[in-house]
Structures are given as C-alpha cells and as structure tokens.
Structure 1
Amino acid sequence: MWKKLILIILIILLAGAAFIGWRFFLSNTNFSEKSKYLYIRTAHATYEDAFKTIQDSNFIKNPGSFDFLAHRMDLPEKIKAGRYEIKNGMSLSDIVRMLRNGKQAPVNLVITKLRTKENLAALIGRKFECDSAAVMEYMLNADTLRTYGFDTNTIIATVYPNTYTYFWNTTPPAIFQKLYAEYRSVWTPERKELATQLGLTPVKAYTLASIVEEETRALEEKGTMASVYLNRYNTGMRLQADPTVKFALHDFTLRRIYEKHLMVESPYNTYRVTGLPPGPICTPSLETLDAVLRAPKTKYLYFVASPDFSGRHVFSETYQQHLLNAKAFQQALDTQQAIRKAKEESGIK
C-alpha cells in the first residue's frame, strides 16, 4: 500500500517537474523568424509596459507563465530600458534572465559618406532611441561643442566613416563621445605633423579632404587634386570648388554648375569666399585624408574632367593650358551628345 502511494507521489512529482521544465526551460517563442527585438523605452522602463509589449507582439506562447516566472525572479524591480534580441527557441527562463541582467543587443552605427548634420541626425535617429531632433539639438549647442574644441560648422570633423557599436538607448552626448574618441585616435602625432607641414590644422585638413572626396573617386589622383587646392590656398586664390557650391545650395543633385549657382551667398561658396569653407562638406574616407596629408608637391592650379570620360581629371599649371584642356573635354562631350542624339533619332538603343 505504502509503496504504491510513494510511487504515485513520485510519478506526480516527476510529471510536475517535467511540466515545469517544459513550460519554463524549453523553447517558448511564438514566431518563425530567426529573432525579434523587444524595445523598452527609457521613459517607460516598467515591467508592466514591457509585459504588455510581449503580450501584444506575440513574442512568447505562454505570457501567463512568463509573468509568473518574472515575479519569482524579481524582474519587475530590475527591468532595464534597452533593445533586447529574443531569438527563436529561447525559453522563458532565458528571456527573463536576459531582461533582468540588462543584456542588450548591440546596435551598429555604420557611417559611410554623409554630407550634412541633418544626414547624420537622421541616421542616428533611425538607429537609436533618441530622435533626430535631439541629435540636432546637441550638434547646434555651441556651448557643449566648445568643450571639445568644435563649433556647429566643424562638429562633422569628428565623424569618420567606420562602424561604431553602441546600445540602442545611448544618448547623443555618449554617441558623440565615441565619435570624438575615434577622431583622437585618427589624429596620431604623425598625421598632426603632416598637417602642420601643410600649414593646416586637423579640422582644416579634414575640410580639404571633404572637398577632394566630392571631386574624385579615383584614389590615385586624390593627392594631385589636393595639391591643386593647396596651391590655390597658399597663393591666396579662391578655391572655386564646385562641390562647395552644391553644399551651399544644399542641392546635391546638380550635375553641372552654372553662373547662376555661383551667385549664392554663403561662407561655403568658395567661388565668392577666399580660403577653406568654415567646415567639412562631407565625411571623407581615411584614404582621402591621408592622400591630402601626403599630397605631392606640384605647380598645378587647374584641372578639368578627362575627355575619355573615365572619371579622372587632366591637370595644368597655367590658365592657358587649362582652357585647352577644357576645350578638349567640351568637344568630347559635344561628340558624345551628338552620337547619343543620332541613336535616339534612328531608334537605336
């Protein structure tokens, strides 16, 4: 009799243990994707809000069991804001532990070429809890930027194309602290010395590199391109860089710059203002920056697109030679357009 009772009790206990194990320690996710993200906002970092999101989004199969386990593991008192990756196949125990320990999924901020503060703010606003308006507010706060030695025009000089890893709820100041750390690591004593030899500060070198970045994609001619602008800069000539006009107009769709465009009143219009613009016009690559810092010594003052339409340029020392090069390019362009027009009229694709 007693043996039979003990056996029944053991069976019940084993069944209960199996149920608990199945319910709390085996897969309990309710989606087919590889993973889904749970966002807990800083302003609403409460267990109640997080639990409602878990319920409404059908993250798990058994919300009631999750709630039971969460209270047993003190999650309501330890919930933390952030972005959490719930992977397909996770158990309730795994999810509760992840949230209780604040083990966020990192966010990668991938910066390539950006042109304006608005572009950067929009990128950050899409990736993080803070919106673009908060980022713009930070970048327009002159007092804050002054502590880093920058202003509202030069703040982009802290931004180098790279991949930066943060947590989703990182604030704008913390985001820029990491960008500033990258800026400091880029400007090694060697690069600072090279800039000094050119008569440039790091920010001015970066600004010049931003112009070169916009002028040519050909790495092999970026140094020569930089030498043209350095020669103009050092002799007091206006840089007359077309990309600065596009920046001044905030119209980056322009394919050609006409006389009407050159009239825009802006400190960035280097057809009207002598010297470098007050800040970068894009975020240049490190290769472009190094090409500027190691620009060869030349006497070139002019350049024009190559007539072979390779995307490269022809350089010249005198204005007379430049006019001949420009004429050669224009003739090649006229010929190309005539051929294209003839094909269109004949119906040839």
Structure 2
Amino acid sequence: MHKKALLFITLVALVVVMAGAALVVRNQFYGSAVHEESDLYVSSRCDYAALRDTLARHIGHRWAFDRYASRLELGRSFKPGRYLLRPGMNVIEVARMLKLGEQTPVRITFNNVRTPAQLAGKLGRQFDADSASFAQVLTSDSLARTLGFDSVTLFSMFIPNTYEFYWTASPQEFVTRMKREYDRFWAAGRDEKRDRSGLSRLEVMTLASIVYEETRKVDEMPRIAGVYINRLRRGIPLQADPTVKYAMQDFGLRRILYKHLKYPSPYNTYVNKGLPPSPICMPSIDAIDAVLGYERHDYLFFCARPTFDGYHNFARTLREHNANARAYSAELNRRRIK
C-alpha cells in the first residue's frame, strides 16, 4: 500500500478513535449517571470521603464525578443536607447540587407526644441534629422567654402536624419556626373563640391535653371538654385520671387506685384545683378545637363505659356517677384488669 494512503488511513482511524473517546468522555460527564430516584443524606458530621462512599451507591460515572468535583473543589465546599437524586441527572448536576446546597425539604411529622423528651427523640430521628441537641433547646429557659414562654410552658407551643423543613435545620431554627406556626394556628379564627371561652392559650392547650388523654373519640371530645369547663367554673377539682398518670410518669397505669390519687405533684388534679401548670401531652388539633367549641351542658362527671368501646357515660350528680363507676369497676374485675 502506498505510504500516503497508509498514513491517511492511520489518521482517519486515529480521528475515529479520538472522536469515539471524546464521545465516551462526554457521556461520562453529560450522560445519565442516576438511574433511579433516591434520597442522599449528607450529615453536617460527614467528611468528603464518607460523602463519596455514600454517593457511590447512588450514581454511576464516578471517575467523571471525581474529576469534576476536583475542579469545583467540592471536597472543601460541599453542603450538608437531604438531596433528591432524580433519574437522568448527570455528574455535573449532582456535583453542582452538592456545592450549592440545593436541598430538597423533608416532611417532619410529630404527634402522640407526652413529654419534651419524647418530642426530642422523635425530632432527632427526623433531622440531622441528634435528640440530645433538641432536648437542650426544648428545655432552654432563655430561648423560651424570647418566644413568650418559659421552659415548662414552651411545650404548649407545638401544634402536632406535618411540616416541611430542610433536614439540616438546627433545633433553634425548628423552635423558632414552630412559634410562627403557633401564631398562624391561633390567628385562623381560634383566638376569637378562645376569647369567648375566657381561657388563655396555655389554658386551652392544657385542657385539650387532658381531653386528648381521656378519649380518642373526636365526636365525644367537646362533651368531655364541657364537663371540665363546668368543673373549672364551679371551682370543683378536675379529678382527671390522666393527670395522675402524668404526675407519676407512669403512662402504662391501667387502673387508678385510691393510693394514686394522693400522689404529691402540681399536675395531680385530685390534690390541686384548676388546671395543671402545662399540658400533660401534646393535644391533637381536634382536641384543641373541641375545647374551643366545648359542648354546653350540665354534666359534672363521666366514666368509661363497661363495654370498653372507648366512649363514656356522663352524669349530672355524684350518685349517678358512682353507679356508672361501680359498673365499670365490676367489669375491670371481671376482666381481671389491675
């Protein structure tokens, strides 16, 4: 073969190889590196080596990612957070997302909480910050006072619901945001109802927590709230069994006995008149609205039905109530519940 022809063929082959290599390299940088949707959590305690190890399970084209990440100096500038990796993303998009901190919010849910410690535990499992950090903030008197509460009453500020946050939000940022949600909650017509009831926000939340612990039957909540409102207005001790459990911090107690009623605590409404100093749990929105829209009646007592259907028998007189209580107690004995 003529030397010129051979050289031409060689050059053409080289161009083809180089073009192919260029396409391969381009595909490494611009082709799809993410094949299925997944969440990437990058903790504030995570170093770059840990980030790379975690990312390796989510993306392909890792050689190209390392090259581009090096160009961005990502090892010194990546932002912690929760990131949504979407199918079709290339390594450039992933690296830039981590550098710019383009987080995807998380949905944070909390309810059925009895104490600040339990709330801290739930939050510690849903945020980057741990439960100890949340516990410290949730009991901080200085922070509480900036929000119009104290370390005891701050718990009444949290309205159970689902909220969107950045996963890296600090405990203080969480509490500050919850104050805005609290004010928004009351501004939605609830303060007007509260004014008519004569109760403060704290009193509504505290009474609602007792109602919530007494029943999960939403349709019965306003009636139970009405009983407690009647007792408050007549100066009769509330004598609410859930406050005894809270005072004793024994939430598994199934049967309240006479010896329990004398337990010394400001939360025990058998030995103290009026409402406890703060909520005994985080009441549901239904329970809060039940207190604001309490049923007007002349009942002063209620007792769980012996049918154990979750509802209660109501009474106007002590004699009626004692008869209801004996029927319920007899059923407890029959079922050998202690």
Q: Please report the TM-score for the alignment, with normalisation by the length of structure 1.
A: 0.86
Cα distance in 1 between the residues matched to 2:51 and 2:295: 60
Superimposed CA distance per residue, residues 197-219 of structure 1 (whole angstroms, 9 cap, x where no aligned partner): 22210111011011000101111
Q: Does 1:143 align with 2:135?
A: no
Cα distance in 1 between the residues matched to 2:288 and 2:172: 26
Superimposed CA distance per residue, residues 254-278 of structure 1 (whole angstroms, 9 cap, x where no aligned partner): 1111122223221111111111111
User: 1:173/1:81 Cα in 2 relative to 1: closer, same or farther (>3 Å)?
Assistant: same
Alignment-derived partner of residue 51 in structure 2:
53
CA contact (8 A) 2:237 2:273 kept: yes
Within the candidate set 37, 40, 55, 1:37 is matched to 40
Unaligned runs of 5+ in 2: none
Cα distance in 1 between the residues matched to 2:65 and 2:204: 56
CA contact (8 A) 2:39 2:82 kept: no
Cα distance in 1 between the residues matched to 2:264 and 2:168: 40
Cα distance in 1 between the residues matched to 2:328 and 2:312: 10
Alignment-derived partner of residue 130 in structure 1:
129
> Deviation of residue 148 (structure 1)?
0.9
Q: Which amino acid aligns with 1:284?
A: P
Superimposed CA distance per residue, residues 164-218 of structure 1 (whole angstroms, 9 cap, x where no aligned partner): 1111211111111221111111102632122222221011101101100010111
What SS does the aligned partner of 1:298 have? coil
Map 1:136-175; keep pairs closer than 5 Å: 136-175=135-174
Cα distance in 1 between the residues matched to 2:43 and 2:137: 23
Q: Which amino acid aligns with 2:270?
A: Y
Q: Which shows bigger deviation, 325-334 or 272-281?
A: 325-334
Within the candidate set 26, 31, 34, 1:21 is matched to 26
Map 1:1-349; keep pairs closer than 5 Å: 1=4, 4=9, 7-28=12-33, 34-41=37-44, 49-55=47-53, 58-59=56-57, 60-61=59-60, 63-76=62-75, 78-86=77-85, 90-188=89-187, 190-334=189-333, 336-337=334-335
Q: Which amino acid aligns with 1:22?
A: N
What SS does the aligned partner of 1:187 have? helix
CA contact (8 A) 1:51 1:67 kept: no
CA contact (8 A) 2:39 2:84 kept: yes
User: 1:285/1:18 Cα in 2 relative to 1: closer, same or farther (>3 Å)?
Assistant: same
Cα distance in 1 between the residues matched to 2:165 and 2:238: 39
Percent sequence identity over aligned pairs = 37
What SS does the aligned partner of 2:239 have? coil
What SS does the aligned partner of 2:272 have? coil
> Deviation of residue 116 (structure 1)?
0.5
Unaligned runs of 5+ in 1: 341-349
Superimposed CA distance per residue, residues 35-71 of structure 1 (whole angstroms, 9 cap, x where no aligned partner): 2524141x55xxxx22443137743455443221112
> Deviation of residue 77 (structure 1)?
5.1
CA contact (8 A) 2:48 2:75 kept: no
Q: Which shows bigger deviation, 302-311 or 161-170?
A: 302-311
> Deviation of residue 139 (structure 1)?
1.8
Superimposed CA distance per residue, residues 309-342 of structure 1 (whole angstroms, 9 cap, x where no aligned partner): 22111111111111122223334445x538x9xx
CA contact (8 A) 1:38 1:54 kept: no
Taking only aligned residues, the RMSD between alpha carbons, in angstroms, comes to 2.5
- Number of aligned positions between the proteins: 331
User: 1:189/1:73 Cα in 2 relative to 1: closer, same or farther (>3 Å)?
Assistant: closer
Cα distance in 2 between the residues matched to 1:220 and 1:184: 26
Cα distance in 2 between the residues matched to 1:218 and 1:189: 24
> Deviation of residue 5 (structure 1)?
6.1
CA contact (8 A) 1:38 1:86 kept: no
Cα distance in 2 between the residues matched to 1:189 and 1:289: 13
Q: Which amino acid aligns with 2:246?
A: F
Cα distance in 2 between the residues matched to 1:128 and 1:159: 17
User: 1:56/1:279 Cα in 2 relative to 1: closer, same or farther (>3 Å)?
Assistant: closer
CA contact (8 A) 2:156 2:202 kept: yes
